[in-house]
A and B are shown apart, each in its own frame.
Chain A
Amino acid sequence: MPGDTLTLLADRLRGPLGDQWVITDPVRLRTYECDGLTYHRATPGLVVLPETAEQVSAVVRACAEAGVPFVARGAGTGLSGGALPRTDGVLIVMSRMRRILSIDLPNRRAVVEPGVTNLAVTEAVRADGYYYAPDPSSQQVCSIGGNVAENSGGAHCLKYGFTVNHILALEIVSPDGDIMQLDALDPGYDLLGAFIGSEGTLGVATKITVRLTRAPEVVTTVLAAFPGVAAGGKAVSAIIGSGIVPAAIEMMDALAIEAAEAAVACRYPEGAGAVLIVELDGPAAEVAGHFEQVERICREEGAFEIRVADDPAERAAIWKGRKSAFAAVGRISPAYIVQDGVVPRTALPGVLARIAELSAEHGIRVANVFHAGDGNLHPLVLFDDAEPGAGERAEHVSGMILDLCIEHGGSITGEHGVGVDKARYMPKMFTEDDLDTMQLVRCAFDPKGLSNPGKVFPTPRLCGEVPGVRKGVHPLVESGKAEQF
């Protein structure tokens, strides 16, 4: 039965999209079965590759009419299973919508299609002295549409903010198939802000106006080696507390350093129990002033070696280890789980100590590589998938780390999103009323619940009739003194 519906849908879409962009061949469908979180897999019922907003609209409208769920997919680098397809639904792949439509430097903005990669935006304006500030580590491949859906961050978001702070307007296809404009210029509810970070559950972004940021005059990168994470964590607090907002503060612990050395030979100071990468950028005078303070604080907190990079080559050398860290863990462990919890920055030392205890208690190694400046942990929970029970233990430790974050007033995800992976943790962080209220937004945009269903919320809310239950007509309306819309 669903098969028939999808066959009819495919037939209907071949006209508007062109034969070759409607994929039904099972082998080709399989290539889209997961995103960056590979242990969730599902073969999509149908894959389409539209090239224009009108085509996206045609697809979504057809889905709405047939009651078929749809999932947008950018580059598929997501780490929470957000782009996990539906076997009974349509996967809308944005990879053909990759044009940069306009660059408007006087207005510091560019209009791009959702399939454009994050880095491509920066590359298009770099020569003019501008860049696109949010910089997920996946920026060479991830798409701006995916960034919008996840409200992605990156190392430099400490100073510059997240995707939501850099999007000025969106064209979206609503879950009914209507093309709509959400613009920061508009007064009223900030629907632009509400859409960003909604993980594809409120519609499909088809055109994105990004804010461009002026490249800073000076960038100074400091690598400080500490005996352990406790000292590093204290240095982070002291830097933030001193009134400096660095562009980035990243930390790696001994195990993460070991992995990075094995993979890319980054040659971080020998014997370091933790390294801190602090990047300062801005006007020369300010950076110079802040650098002195950062160096002094690091020494006071026990840094035994400090390296400084002022040019791109030296900077790249410092960042090399950090940037390779995720992939590098593969060198020291057959399998791993990446977590993305957040804690208040002042809680960092305590939380890191507790993670070390959990690791020891359960005999599961945990490598820490993280955005220390904003308390966003990325514990890599290592295990051997060949060893019976190891996966479960790793999963258990990983869940306990999230509990720890919630206990400290933090969050279960700082940038990777909830997706399918963390939906079950949402009730630990939010009450039922919180989740139900959030889903009122969903009901407004997508009453049929067809846009990326099963993500973010553990239990979907039934939207009921529009506009919901009424308690009778108000006397003023009845008497004609007020109108109801």
Chain B
Amino acid sequence: MKPVVTIRESQLEALFRAYIKVDAALVVRGLGPFYHNRDTAVIPGAQIAELFSLRHDRDDEHAPPLDVAIPAMANTPERFELFCKRKNIRLAGIVFSTEDGGYLLALNIVPEDFIIEGQGLHISDFSQIDASVPALTLIGMQRALLAEARQAAIDLANAQSEALELLDRTQRLGRYIVHDLANYLSIIRLNVANLARSGGSAEAGRAAIEAATRHVGDLVLSLERLTGHRDVEAAPLPVDQTIRSNLAFLAAALPADFSLDFIGSAAQAAVRVGRTELITMLTNVIVHARGAMPDGGSITISTYRSDRGPTDEADMPGEDWIVIKVIHDGPGIDEEAVRLMLDPQVLARPDGADFPLRSVRTWARSIGGDARITALPETGTDICIYLPISRDTDEAEPLSAPMPGIARQRTARTLRVLVVEDEVHALDAVVEILRMDGYSATPACNAAEAVEALANGDFDILLTDVVMPERSGVELAHEVEARHPRIGIILMSGYLPDESLLQPHWSMLRKPLDLSLLSHALSAAHAKLADSATA
């Protein structure tokens, strides 16, 4: 038969990457590039029948041996399939006879399946026109896209739960900030009212307002940060110095029968928080402690550095913490209360006694730390606030001047208080503060209005200014006590009135009002009422 075309070795390689030339005795004489660097044992001199079998062998016992099949299939258009005995390789093609009496097995690789992985195949194992390359590549892409879609679904779920958590955290933080803002606002109002009165100390009032507005400004900054309104990076704040210089401010949150000590051992350690955040947080802890200690006592704040974080697990090496520990010797809270407090499922109520501590923990977590609260049976409560130490302390902010003493209140009772004050702004401020703190407060501008209010409703306490036109607060108090013997009486005055006019069981508050003393007087009046009710 005359050859139709003559093809060169390089063309043969390009068309049939896995061709094999054998002689008449079926010994390998030449081979395509597919076998290079593959451990198939297909080398010149090898017996083809020892290397391969006919593909049918696997399921067809009657398939003829290769030395019969090859001559029989030579020069026919029939598909010829070989199965490698050594490796999981399948080859397919057709058989030609050659002029030297041998055969050309014009073969290409047939992928076992259409997944690239695990087959050790490369693009160059396939001839230029072999559709296996796009098939394998496209299936590879499809698998990659499926993996991507799966990952996208996971990312979406994560993003969703992150968003929900963020919303939750934002709402919680928002509530805390609103609560703190309201507190500072009431301090400002009260002092503005006091300033408006000529009797008060202008300097103390001014300083208090200034400090409170600074804190409000910082809280607004926190809000801006929270809402993403501004990218604010707090500069590292040296904790010990900050607490020390604000100790007077913190102590002002406590009535006189409390002592507050500070032992700072954290040296220059600084954290990335705003000054007001830190002070507001400590105020919250102290206010909580005060609530737990009705008879007064001592509160100690101490600081130290630690390489152990709030979790008991070993920390990342190099992670450094500052611990702010607040211990008080009051009766403390019991373990169940601590558990409830830390249970995220239990909703925090702004008027709940645990609100301050929850807000402390939320805040600590918002800056990468945490708070641990341990009830010490009999002896009190131990609160540890862990904050991550900022490494670059060099740029620490300069210290602020010490704060003037202003008290913050956070008591929660539903006493009904009738407030009598002729100075309208002062009246508003006191009523506002009492309402903030959970009291029910009714304003009256003079004695006549007060009497009218008493005729229309029940009150537990009469809180009245002394100096008023027409009828004085002392006169009013006598009259009210005569008609309502169970009511508690608290007088407010810029000067001390004639003691002979006062009843010994009445309370007397000096103006400008010290909020902690006001709260104390209200609690005492409440306690007295409760005692007389049970007596």
A binds B: no
Identify the A interface with B (CB < 8 A).
Answer: none
Identify the B interface with A (CB < 8 A).
Answer: none
